[in-house]
Structure 1
Amino acid sequence: MKYFSLPRPGAGLVLGERDVPEPGPGQVLVRLRGWALNARDLMILKGFYPKPVKPDVVALSDGAGEVVGLGDGVGSWSVGDRVAATYFPNWLAGPGTPEKTADDLFGSLDGTLAEYAVFPEDALVAVPAHLDYAEAATLPSAGVTAWRAIVEEGGVFPGQTVLTLGSGGLSAFALQFAALAGARVIATSSSDEKLERLRALGAAETLNYTTTPEWGPAVAELTGGGADHVVDVGGGGTIGQSMLAARVGGHVSVAGVLTHEGAADPVLVLVKQLTLRGLTNASRETFQVMNRAIEQSGLRPVIDRRFGFDDVAAAFKHLESGTHVGKVVLEAP
């Protein structure tokens, strides 16, 4: 079977071949058919990721496929089941703890960018029936984190206002989930063309942050006081404006760090009585709840471009260009 590994951060991916693994006791063999790329993957490839990454790690954290083999004692899956791998295999339910989040795919553990992989049986979830494998592969990181920000932690309800930043996969999911909850969504982007696409996804209003660099006060004015919820993915470069955009008593979810430069006045947290919550994925239980909602609503992830398994270099180049709306994915022939 083919697989892509990273000898060390900054070295570039290497295509290799080895035997299809055999599932051990309590393990499931999955033929992977779809994969999704994340900004975190780029950080690891470039050597900027703050957590340890094991040498020769198999790349990517997000993948979906079909169960093709079962180890002894596996009772929760059958051959032919359609599944996706969980980002944190040991975080099954409840709040995250250091023990539950110590091991992650494409980090301390091998990732998913292989034709076949084995997983513990409780490190998989069933995927919504109406999604293809590439669509299902978008769920483990961007989908789950956005769901936690909007639903599990945010508790968004009809009539509230949600601000999403940019057009990447997590932000697109946050927009979709907020619209599904009946919220009014305001979206930002650097491109009027992207803003048009975000409006088609359900954004009620949009702001171009290139032409409106002080978009935080602009959102506050547009909403008559500020957004109830802000999903920030920019980090240091955006958190200050996000705090200005939030209403008094508002909720800011810090779900990504694309930039480290910038400054935020902590006095705003006090004066506006803000809740800032850092989010790094969620539990398997949360993933399952989200999937039920996706299946019942018929929601489909936003995919910008699809590449073949062997075209991973081109896929990463497209992701890094920042021209995408939604997810960049790979799929098997």
Structure 2
Amino acid sequence: MAPQTQKQWTVQGTGSFDALKLNESAKVAEVGDNDVLVKFKGASLNYRDLIIAKGGYPFAQKDGVVPASDGAGVVEAVGKKVHRFKAGDKVVTLFNQGHIFGSIDHHSIETGTGGVIDGALQQYGVYNEDGLVPLPSNLNFLEGATLTCAGLTAWNALYGLKPLMPGEYVLTQGTGGVSIFAVQFAKAAGAKVIATTSSAAKADKLKSLGADHVINYKEDSNWGETAKKLTGGRGVQHVVEVGGPSTMAQSLKAIAFDGIISIIGFIGGGKSEHNPTFLDCLVNICIVRGVYVGSRQQMEDMNRAIVANDIKPVVDEKVFTLEQTKEAYQYMWDQKHFGKLAISIE
């Protein structure tokens, strides 16, 4: 039997990380007929979590939500109508709890874990059985807790519209979670990777993960054209665009005809002096799409690929405890991490 109270973080208001509040005697939610009670073992942070607390998140959220979409743990108990899981199973949360398959719709876009539905920064969480997937058998809890948002977003970028093919080129930006996953998935598929980063040390790490070419964007401001030259002038077939307006102009310079630029986020800020227009899509004969994570069906496909290729998520060497959550937010905000930033939950 799970305890009736637990340690739990919530986001009370917005504006700074001081909005994060720890309650050491929060109530454990009741388990309904179709629900699963998860004892969390690990969670990981995304840029989304930071801007929810800061007040800059453009999608649905509620005040007082338990943050963090990404969590992994053990099934503690199940409702009497649950058939997908049993006590003792190892599971990972789904980002949009209502997005089971196909395209996202107006309902499922408002079921984001850690935004509208309580997330993983607590010791116990209750979810409908449809909102969980099995933990890949080759991963531990901290590794599995990185898949929900960053892993699935990268997978959707490469496979959601026009599947990546062996021998094609993928351009990634930086060393955040989505970009690192994109490097790993692309290499597992037999594709070639051109990665951008800001330091020689990070470049070495990207090369160790299999990146074929690494461009330091601080030394080469015209990295989009450089990337295109590396493909023999044809351009890259996929760009995993995480920077936003500040990097889009270069992404357009790198893209191949009929290539896809998947817009993931805007870590470079929401404004730029050189904002591209829709006409740039015509001039470059390419597709620009927004990606909002992915469905459970896509996550299950991704997890099969992770097991088949023994892909190990890259987790930052510094792991925080649940009590250190606020420090973890600041550490990530200061961009001290490489790959995914994990939080261990006891």
Alignment TM class, shorter chain as reference: over 0.9
Distance 2:260 2:145 in 1: 28
The DSSP-based 3-state class of the residue aligned with 1:303 is coil
The DSSP-based 3-state class of the residue aligned with 2:312 is coil
Do 2:170 and 2:194's aligned partners in 1 also have CA atoms closer than 8 Å?
yes
Name 1:220's counterpart in structure 2. Answer: 228
Alignment of 1:99-110 (within 5 A): 99-110=107-118
2:245 paired with 1:232: no
Q: 1:83, CA displacement in angstroms?
A: 0.4
Name 2:282's counterpart in structure 1. Answer: 270
Q: 1:115, CA displacement in angstroms?
A: 0.1
Seen in structure 2, the aligned counterparts of structure 1 residues 241 and 297 have a Cα distance that, compared at 3 Å, is same
Aligned with 1:260 (options 260, 263, 270): 270
2:105 paired with 1:94: no
Distance 2:58 2:171 in 1: 28
Distance 2:60 2:261 in 1: 28
Distance 1:175 1:92 in 2: 26
The DSSP-based 3-state class of the residue aligned with 1:173 is helix
The DSSP-based 3-state class of the residue aligned with 1:119 is strand
The DSSP-based 3-state class of the residue aligned with 1:230 is strand
Residues 24-45 of structure 1: per-residue CA shift (max 9 Å, x gap)? 1110100001001000001101
Distance 1:26 1:266 in 2: 45
2:332 paired with 1:325: no
Name 1:249's counterpart in structure 2. Answer: 258
Do 2:11 and 2:67's aligned partners in 1 also have CA atoms closer than 8 Å?
yes
Distance 2:63 2:258 in 1: 45
Query: Which amino acid is the alignment partner of residue 261 of structure 1?
Result: K
Alignment of 1:1-333 (within 5 A): 1-10=6-15, 11-16=18-23, 17-225=25-233, 226-258=235-267, 259-262=269-272, 263-304=275-316, 305-333=318-346
Distance 2:44 2:161 in 1: 24
Residues 32-65 of structure 1: per-residue CA shift (max 9 Å, x gap)? 0100100000110101112342121111111110
Distance 1:79 1:131 in 2: 19
Distance 1:164 1:291 in 2: 21
TM-score by length of 2: 0.93
The DSSP-based 3-state class of the residue aligned with 1:18 is strand
Query: Which amino acid is the alignment partner of residue 143 of structure 1?
Result: G
Distance 1:167 1:153 in 2: 24
In structure 2, stretches of 5+ residues that fail to align are: 1-5
Name 2:3's counterpart in structure 1. Answer: none
Q: 1:73, CA displacement in angstroms?
A: 1.0
RMSD: 1.2
Query: Which amino acid is the alignment partner of residue 75 of structure 1?
Result: H
Q: 1:322, CA displacement in angstroms?
A: 1.5
Q: 1:22, CA displacement in angstroms?
A: 2.6
In structure 1, stretches of 5+ residues that fail to align are: none
The DSSP-based 3-state class of the residue aligned with 1:277 is strand
Distance 1:187 1:144 in 2: 19
Do 2:66 and 2:121's aligned partners in 1 also have CA atoms closer than 8 Å?
yes
Do 1:154 and 1:229's aligned partners in 2 also have CA atoms closer than 8 Å?
no
Do 2:60 and 2:110's aligned partners in 1 also have CA atoms closer than 8 Å?
no
The DSSP-based 3-state class of the residue aligned with 1:260 is coil
Deviates more, 1:262-271 or 1:152-161: 262-271
Percent identical pairs in the alignment equals 38
Do 1:164 and 1:187's aligned partners in 2 also have CA atoms closer than 8 Å?
yes
Q: 1:228, CA displacement in angstroms?
A: 1.4
Aligned pairs, number? 333
Distance 1:277 1:195 in 2: 27
Q: 1:153, CA displacement in angstroms?
A: 2.4
Deviates more, 1:241-250 or 1:258-267: 258-267
Query: Which amino acid is the alignment partner of residue 161 of structure 2?
Result: E
Distance 2:65 2:110 in 1: 16
Query: Which amino acid is the alignment partner of residue 291 of structure 1?
Result: N
